[in-house]
């Protein structure tokens, strides 16, 4: 196995049933690699950790996991691994590419891409596998259109190539003998050539907008720009695939009676927020920071230099903040803003895209197929493993 994440039929809990550490005051813990850290689990404590400038990502690129760390998290050029004034300037530059006007302009064709996939699914008829027929094609169509990779010529990107590169970028742990270097180098070379081409001949795509903003502001290192495009292409695509697959697993497996209700626009929007909030993308629960000074979190003093592990899953299920839990009425708004996309300086720049694709996908699918149902019990679903995300490898359905 060198270019594909492995699948397993071994029983695993679906991610909506994944146990989380109870929300409690900060306390010492040991990370899988033996690093001593402070575990923070309560919603308000985690939110404080994510927003406090005294807690940074400095020198944590390879800390925390027992196996190899995914390149998307370990690479120093990643936006995730930068902090301070330079990071703030970079985020401000990037934000110029994600203006409200730009996002509003993307919405119609995102909806059209989703509807095209729904129409193809209906036309093909049952039975079907939603992974191959829907949860992968929809994000791929959006990714390639958004990044300007859907035309002819050298900038064209096919699904197999993106899949191979994505698995290399997001590979987590696994077989230490696996070498993702060639695929990562190929992806990097493609991205650098793409950026150079967009400088010569800019278009209306997101890569052109990012290059233009970076060049106008200046001071954005070329490797940082390249890694940003890498991440938005690969991670953005895979995040939507995972979120959509895991949400459908829960909805069709345990909320079948509620499924037709998602045809309502308002219910779909509120349901998506609840689903993204309560269902994580992967098995890894914590995000790491280092204290640059002694800091008080939840009446506990964390010393300078300590590693802090903020448990997003625990925070998002803190009963003091979210007493109703996942299985409440899907149409209910959340009791507090979700931390599913982090918070503070490292808030996910692609959150708008995940929300938009999820809302359009679930609403249009429920509208066209109110009788959609799984033909395999959730406990028997195979899972795709080996990357920072986990999602069903297949979702057999009929209607």
Instruction: Dump pLDDT digits (tens) for 6-55.
Output: 666 557 899 999 999 999 999 999 998 899 999 999 999 999 999 999 99
- The pLDDT of residue 7 is 63
Angle at 375 between CA 374 and CA 381, to 5 degrees: 80
Residue with tokens 């039975």: 127
As a whole number of angstroms, the distance between CA 63 and CA 350 comes to 25
Please identify every stretch of the chain with a pLDDT value under 70, giving residue numbers as ranges.
Answer: 1-10, 61-62, 64-74, 77, 172-178
Starting at the edge strand found earlier in the chain, the sheet holding 55-56 runs 27-30, 36-40, 307-311, 286-291, 55-56
Q: Residue 38: CA atoms inside 13 Å, Cβ hemisphere, count?
A: 26
As a whole number of angstroms, the distance between CA 57 and CA 92 comes to 19
Residues whose CB falls within 8 Å of the CB of residue 184, separated by 6 or more in sequence, listed in order: 71, 165, 168, 169
Quickly count: other Cβ atoms within 10 Å of residue 337's Cβ: 12
As a whole number of angstroms, the distance between CA 111 and CA 59 comes to 41
State which H helix or E strand residue 122 sits in: helix 100-124
pTM listed for this prediction: 0.92
Q: DSSP string of 255-268?
A: -TTTGGGGGSHHHH
Helix, strand, coil % (nearest 5) of the chain? Answer: 50, 10, 40
Beta strands, E only, the chain: 7-8, 27-30, 36-40, 55-56, 128-129, 286-291, 295-297, 300-302, 307-311, 373-374, 383-384, 391-392, 396-398
As a whole number of angstroms, the distance between CA 142 and CA 102 comes to 15
Q: Strand, coil or helix: what is 61?
A: coil
Q: Quick: pLDDT tens for 297-345.
A: 999 999 999 999 999 999 999 999 999 999 899 999 999 999 999 999 9
As a whole number of angstroms, the distance between CA 71 and CA 144 comes to 22
Angle at 284 between CA 280 and CA 286, to 5 degrees: 95
As a whole number of angstroms, the distance between CA 218 and CA 203 comes to 20
Inter-residue contact 388 to 361 (CB < 8 Å): no
| Closest by Cα among 230, 227, 229, 164 to 387 | 164
Q: Strand, coil or helix: what is 361?
A: helix
Before 127, cis peptide (omega within 30)? yes
Is the torsion defined by CA of 197, 199, 203, 205 positive or negative?
A: positive
- The pLDDT of residue 161 is 93
Residue 158: exposure state from Cβ atoms within 10 A (0-12, 13-18, ≥19): exposed
Beta bridge partners of 161: none
- The pLDDT of residue 85 is 83
Residue 264 corresponds to which tokens in the numbers above?
């309502």
Quickly count: other Cβ atoms within 10 Å of residue 22's Cβ: 12
């Amino acid at each position: 196995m060198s270019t594909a994440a492995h699948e397993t039929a071994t029983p695993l809990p679906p991610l909506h049933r994944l146990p989380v550490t109870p929300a409690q005051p900060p306390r010492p813990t040991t990370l899988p690699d033996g690093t001593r850290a402070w575990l923070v689990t309560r919603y308000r404590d985690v939110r404080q950790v994510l927003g406090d400038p005294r807690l940074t990502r400095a020198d944590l690129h390879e800390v925390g996991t027992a196996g190899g760390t995914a390149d998307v998290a370990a690479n120093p050029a990643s936006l995730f691994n930068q902090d301070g004034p330079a990071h703030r300037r970079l985020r401000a530059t990037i934000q110029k590419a994600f203006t409200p006007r730009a996002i509003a302009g993307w919405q119609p064709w995102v909806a059209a891409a989703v509807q095209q996939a729904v129409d193809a699914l209906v036309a093909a008829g049952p039975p079907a596998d939603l992974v191959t027929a829907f949860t992968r094609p929809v994000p791929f169509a959006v990714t390639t259109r958004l990044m300007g990779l859907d035309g002819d010529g050298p900038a064209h990107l096919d699904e197999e190539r993106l899949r191979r590169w994505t698995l290399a970028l997001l590979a987590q742990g696994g077989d230490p003998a696996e070498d993702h270097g060639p695929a990562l180098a190929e992806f990097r070379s493609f991205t650098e050539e793409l950026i150079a081409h967009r400088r010569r001949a800019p278009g209306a795509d997101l890569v052109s907008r990012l290059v233009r903003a970076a060049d106008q502001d200046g001071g954005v290192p070329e490797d940082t720009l390249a890694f940003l495009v890498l991440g938005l292409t690969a991670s953005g695509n895979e995040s939507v695939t995972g979120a959509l697959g895991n949400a459908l697993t829960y909805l069709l497996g345990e909320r079948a009676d509620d499924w037709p209700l998602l045809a309502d626009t308002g219910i779909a929007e509120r349901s998506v927020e609840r689903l993204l909030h309560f269902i994580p993308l992967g098995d890894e629960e914590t995000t790491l920071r280092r204290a640059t000074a002694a800091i008080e979190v939840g009446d506990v003093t964390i010393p300078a230099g300590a590693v802090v592990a903020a448990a997003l899953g625990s925070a998002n299920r803190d009963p003091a903040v979210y007493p109703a839990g996942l299985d409440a009425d899907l149409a209910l708004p959340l009791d507090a803003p979700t931390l599913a996309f982090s918070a503070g300086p490292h808030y996910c720049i692609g959150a708008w895209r995940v929300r938009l694709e999820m809302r359009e996908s679930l609403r249009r699918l429920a509208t066209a197929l109110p009788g959609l149902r799984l033909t395999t019990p959730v406990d028997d679903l195979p899972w795709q493993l080996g990357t920072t995300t986990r999602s069903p490898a297949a979702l057999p359905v009929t209607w």
